[in-house]
């Protein structure tokens, strides 16, 4: 029986709520059990991808370092809303890990093709 793919949809900014960290932790947990995992960052969630973030000033761990560990867990498919990346002044070349920017139709296709979708 083939493993079912899980798409984690991350909509929360990296700090100010525990949901952003919970989504990343859940993705790592699923990957640790060898489940096929993809991530999609939407809206302010794309701010989690910024390689230059530093949560120490507000007493939180750096999300960028956690994201950089994803390839060790075979999480290789990380997607982001192209419009949100542009709106928040980010560049996919300056993300904590390789990111594929998607337009609206491509995001819809990704959501449709995923066996399970979990939102954070």
53 vs 84, higher pLDDT: 84
Instruction: Please tell me the least confidently modeled range out of 23-32, 48-57, 86-95.
Output: 48-57
55-111 confidence digits (pLDDT tens) = 777 777 778 778 888 999 999 899 999 999 999 999 998 888 899 999 999 999 999
Give the domain ranges of the chain: 6-119
Give the HSE-up count for residue 116: Cα atoms under 13 Å, Cβ half-sphere: 11
Residues 83-86: contacts with CB under 8 Å, at least 24 apart: 84/41, 84/42, 84/43, 84/44, 84/45, 84/46, 85/46, 85/49
pTM: 0.90
* Strand 77-81 to 37-41 pairing: parallel
Q: Identify the architecture of domain 6-119 in CATH.
A: 3-Layer(aba) Sandwich (3.40)
């Amino acid at each position: 029986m083939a493993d079912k793919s899980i798409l984690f949809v991350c909509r929360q900014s990296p700090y100010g709520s525990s949901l952003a960290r919970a989504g990343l932790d859940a993705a790592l947990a699923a990957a640790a059990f060898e489940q096929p995992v993809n991530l999609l960052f939407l809206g302010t969630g794309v701010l989690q991808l910024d390689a230059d973030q530093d949560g120490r000033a507000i007493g939180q761990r750096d999300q960028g370092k956690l994201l950089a560990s994803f390839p060790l867990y075979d999480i290789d498919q990380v997607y982001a809303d192209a419009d949100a990346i542009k709106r928040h002044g980010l560049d996919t070349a300056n993300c904590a890990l390789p990111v594929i920017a998607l337009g609206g139709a491509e995001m819809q296709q990704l959501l449709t093709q995923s066996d399970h979708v979990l939102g954070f």
